[in-house]
Amino acid sequence: MGDLVSNLSLGFGVALTPVNLALAFLGCLVGTLIGVLPGVGPIATIAMLLPITFGLDPVGALIMLAGIYYGAQYGGSTTAILVNIPGEATSVVTALDGHQMARQGRAGVALGIAAIGSFFAGTVATLVIAALGAPLTGLALIFGPTEYFSLMVMGLVFAVVLARGSILKAIAMILVGVLLSTVGTDLETGEERMTFGLPFLADGIDFAVLAMGIFGIAEIMRNLDHTEHRDVVRQAIGRLLPNMDDFKQAYKPVLRGTFIGSLLGILPGNGAVLGPFAAYTLEKKLAKDPQRFGRGAIEGVAGPESANNAGAQTSFIPLLTLGIPPNAVMALMVGAMTIHGIIPGPQVMTKSPTLFWGMIASMWIGNLMLLIINLPLVGMWVRLLKVPYRLMFPAILMFCCIGIYSINSLPTDVMFIGLFGLMGYMLIKFGFEPAPLLLGFVLGRLMEENLRRALIISRGDLWTFITKTIPMRMSEFWGSIFNGTLCRPATPAMGGQESPGFVCGYPLSATLLAIAAFVLILALLPSIRKGRDEVFTE
Amino acid sequence: MKKIVLALAAAAGLAATGAQAQGYPTRPITMIVPFAAGGPTDVIARIVSDHMSRTLGQQIVIENVAGAGGTTGITRGAQAQPDGYTIMMGHMGTHGAAPALYPNLKYDPAKDFAPIGLAAGTPIVIVAKKEFPANDLKGFLDYLAKNGDKVNMAHAGVGSVSHSTGIFFNSVVKAKPTMVAYRGTGPALNDLMANTVDFMTDQIVNVAPQIQGGNIKAFAIATPQRSPVLPNVPTTKEAGLEGYEVSAWNAVFAPKGTPADVVKKLSDALAKSLDDETTKKRLLELGGVIPSATERTPEALQKLVESEVARWTPVLQAAGAKAE
């Protein structure tokens, strides 16, 4: 504990220097701006700004880049609430209820609770990183291909449960998403699949392209054919500070969202994306009246918003402690570090403590800045969005095109957002929810790869998903119960000399699959009942 | 009127191309890096080009054009105007292994480029999981010979450096481990650290931190000399393995037809960058090997490309590896 305090004070000493404060501020501001503007994501921005950081010292450079990343999370929610375009994959769920709140004239409250929830989550996540960074690195290593596949299955089941309306349609959307994710060069054999011989499809469909097309472009098209919907964002924002009732409704979702987000953010393979989805599902399931969800429930904003910010921050843990980037933004951070001669890895914490703790302290400062600069600035963002739609949409389109082009410098990517826009528009018209498609797409590729990896390693044995266990130290009590089956006495080679005990195999993969099955049954039962009721009443 | 304007513009354009050789460079230069930002090649390109920009008096802008093992970006670079304003950072994969891996490759590494010079080599290290039953290369090779079918080898995807060098390793030691593919080095290393897979071969930049952190074992480094970053890791020759010396080199190329004086200017700027203390320090910290003065010339690079294509093609074809 004393270590934690001295480490954090070292960090704040670094983060509070005027230069680093200014860089954190700049990063947060740029991040919010690009988060608000649909079509320019943090990946493109960080990639473009990398050369500029050459002249800075490494701590300052990373503080600024980190600010852009979590600033974008904040900004992304602003557009999700005000114009129903999630600026980031993690704010997809925020749009569901946040935008409904905006339509009811409660945009200010939605923005306010998003900001406050995010700040709270950010504070907790910062403490989590500081306190648990080192011990938690073990978690990343527990998840092998087998466990990861089971986790993905669980994630997709959650996505089905989360979807509004028909479960059948949600499953269909997930399958389309999974199918789209298989386009491209096969990882194991190098054969091309479903590319029609087109070279630009050889690397598959880019996530940003799909997301921007299906959410961004489709939304613009939908806005254009409903004239009456255009002035949605022009409605009054209303008061920003939530009242006591709002707080009462929101504080528990904030706590739960923070917990879920922090936990999932640590997982490698972009676990942070799962956070908001999981938080939303949980809130919907816990709510007394789930009908309110999708119609402007404040819990539907508070939970996912806290989860996405917590996840954004804890996803630094695998990077800072293991040097393994969990997502594309973190991969860029690795680049930024190596450019400055710092090789990310377990030794960063001991070799460059000022960098490690300085960055952590700056995260909290950044969150505070975001809260302070964003709430008053909401007026400015709104004014930006009050610009007549006939002027807005060409600008958004242009930003989308530039943003997409800047990621891979491929003209075909720009054409594809048009194509996916058309597809998204049709999906909306036919009453399909595009969010499960996107999740299916993100998880599909990981799921397939981990499934095949697990099977290759088990030499084709499907039982591996049920029988594979991870070693865990257990107390004498549990160890003696399962002795011989799951557990065996610890040997000195396993570090057993300090304390007698048992090393047990925990079937993590089977547990995850069991949770998935349980949740699916839970979700299916009432809907089967409801479906039958409807048939009967008609 | 329009026609006249167009004609004038065309004339101005011609004049500009004609005059560029003397005043080169008069505008920023684009360097295509055929991989995502943050990877070893990208980092080397950024470190080297930073100093080159200062020598040339014009900014070198890095453009990441990733895809198809780097061949997407290099194809675009090969087809660019040969005016010296588009150059690219090629590497062992794009200019060595690619012809064997991509039968429909749209460029010939030896014929379609004006080589500028070698930037930095990143040695290959043979690494294994911490729990692997062997402690040195000899023990590892014995184990591999006896239990070859039980061993899992990780690589970062068909066409990656770890894949090509891994196949090369298997052909040298005549082993047939089960290959497990990952999307990039990060996830592969994660599973190596988690003891899920057994071993892999990869660039020192990627594996050195985990070796130093004691999370994985290093058996040998595939260079003639030990690396200052990993002084305790023996070379393959020291450890008793002949014929496995391999390094993922990175080198700057311009499209074929780039004027000779422009090539010279770029080549000189590159050489000067590699002599700069800061650049050197940054590259060495990454575990990079800085080419000697004779290895840096365009002629030496041309020879290297030819020998690399000749070396990789039979190895990869014998393994039946292709990426298309």
Phi first, then psi: give them for residue A193, nearest 5 degrees: -125, 130
Both tokens of residue A133? 């960074």
Per CB-CB distance under 8 Å, the chain B contacts of A410 are 65, 67
Chain B residue whose CA is closest to A54:
B50
Chain A residue whose CA is closest to B157:
A187
Per CB-CB distance under 8 Å, the chain A contacts of B65 are 408-410
Interface of B with A in 221-250 (CB under 8 A): none
- Inter-chain Cβ pairs, chain A and chain B, closer than 8 A: 140
pLDDT tens readout for residues B167-225: 999 989 988 899 998 877 777 888 888 888 999 999 998 888 889 888 899 999 999 88
Which H/E stretch holds residue B31?
strand B29-33
Kindly report each contact of residues A284-288 with a partner whose C-beta sits within 8 Å and lies 24 or more positions away, as own/partner.
A284/A162, A285/A161, A285/A522, A286/A256
pLDDT tens readout for residues B1-37: 444 544 444 444 444 444 445 688 888 899 999 887 7
Chain A residue whose CA is closest to B208:
A343
A187: contact with B, CB 8 A cutoff: yes
Residue B1 to chain A, least CA–CA distance (Å): 31
Which range in A83-97, A267-281, A314-328, B41-55 is most confidently predicted, on average pLDDT? B41-55
Instruction: Concatenate the DSSP letters of all residues of A397-447 into one string.
Output: HHHHHHHHHHHH--HHHHHHHHHHHHHHHHHHHTT--HHHHHHHHHHHHHH
Residue A20 to chain B, least CA–CA distance (Å): 23
Give a yes or no: residue A185 inside a domain: yes
A455: contact with B, CB 8 A cutoff: no
Residues 6+ apart with CB under 8 A from B215: A346, B130, B193
Give a yes or no: residue A489 inside a domain: no
Q: Contact, A336 vs A48, CB < 8 A? A: no
Question: Looking at the domain that runs over B28-121+250-318, which CATH code has it been given?
Answer: 3.40.190.150
Ramachandran region of residue B115, left (φ > 0), alpha (ψ -120 to 50) or beta?
beta
- For residue A161, pLDDT over 70 is answered with no
Q: Contact, B255 vs B79, CB < 8 A? A: yes
Per CB-CB distance under 8 Å, the chain B contacts of A347 are 209, 212-213
Q: Are strands B113-129 and B247-255 parallel, antiparallel or unpaired?
A: antiparallel
Q: What is the largest CA-CA distance in chain B?
A: 82
**Candidates 3.40.190.10, 2.60.40.10, 3.30.565.10, 3.40.50.980; correct CATH number of B123-221?**
3.40.190.10
- For residue A88, pLDDT over 70 is answered with no
Per CB-CB distance under 8 Å, the chain A contacts of B158 are 185, 187-190
Chain A residue whose CA is closest to B102:
A190
Cα–Cα distance measured from residue A321 to residue A271, given in angstroms and rounded to the nearest whole number: 16
Pick the range with the lowest mean pLDDT from A18-27, A255-264, A400-409, A474-483. A474-483
Give a yes or no: residue A227 inside a domain: yes
Residue B285 to chain A, least CA–CA distance (Å): 6
Peptide bond into B25 cis (omega under 30): yes
Helices and strands (H and E) in chain A: how many: 23, 5
Chain B residue whose CA is closest to A448:
B182
Give a yes or no: residue A28 inside a domain: yes
Same topology for domains B28-121+250-318 and B123-221, yes or no?
yes
CB nearest A325 (choices: B67, B183, B186): B186
Cα–Cα distance measured from residue A192 to residue A198, given in angstroms and rounded to the nearest whole number: 10
The domain limits of chain B are 28-121+250-318, 123-221
Phi first, then psi: give them for residue A444, nearest 5 degrees: -55, -50
**Percent of chain B's residues with pLDDT above 90:** 42
Q: What is the largest CA-CA distance in chain A?
A: 74
Per CB-CB distance under 8 Å, the chain A contacts of B67 are 200, 202-203, 408, 410
The neighbouring-strand residues paired with B201 are: B126
Q: How far is CA B183 from CA A198, B104, B118, B154, in A?
A: 21, 23, 27, 10
Are A190 and B322 inside 8 Å of each other by CB? yes
Number of domains in chain A: 1
Chain A residue whose CA is closest to B158:
A190
The length of chain A, given as a count of residues? 538
Residue located via tokens 């044995």: A461
pLDDT tens readout for residues A72-87: 878 878 878 877 776 6
Both tokens of residue B157? 């995807």
CB atoms within 10 A of CB A196: 7
Interface of A with B in 504-523 (CB under 8 A): none
Q: Are strands B199-203 and B113-129 parallel, antiparallel or unpaired?
A: antiparallel
Task: Identify the domain containing residue A95 by its residue range.
Answer: 2-468+507-537
Write the DSSP symbol of residue A490.
P
Per CB-CB distance under 8 Å, the chain A contacts of B215 are 346
Per CB-CB distance under 8 Å, the chain A contacts of B66 are 203, 408
Which comes out higher in pLDDT, residue B204 or A499? B204
B197: contact with A, CB 8 A cutoff: yes
Confidence (pTM)? 0.72
Residues 6+ apart with CB under 8 A from A440: A156, A159, A173, A174, A175, A176, A177, A178, A180, A181
Write the DSSP symbol of residue B87.
E
At A106 the three-state DSSP class reads: coil
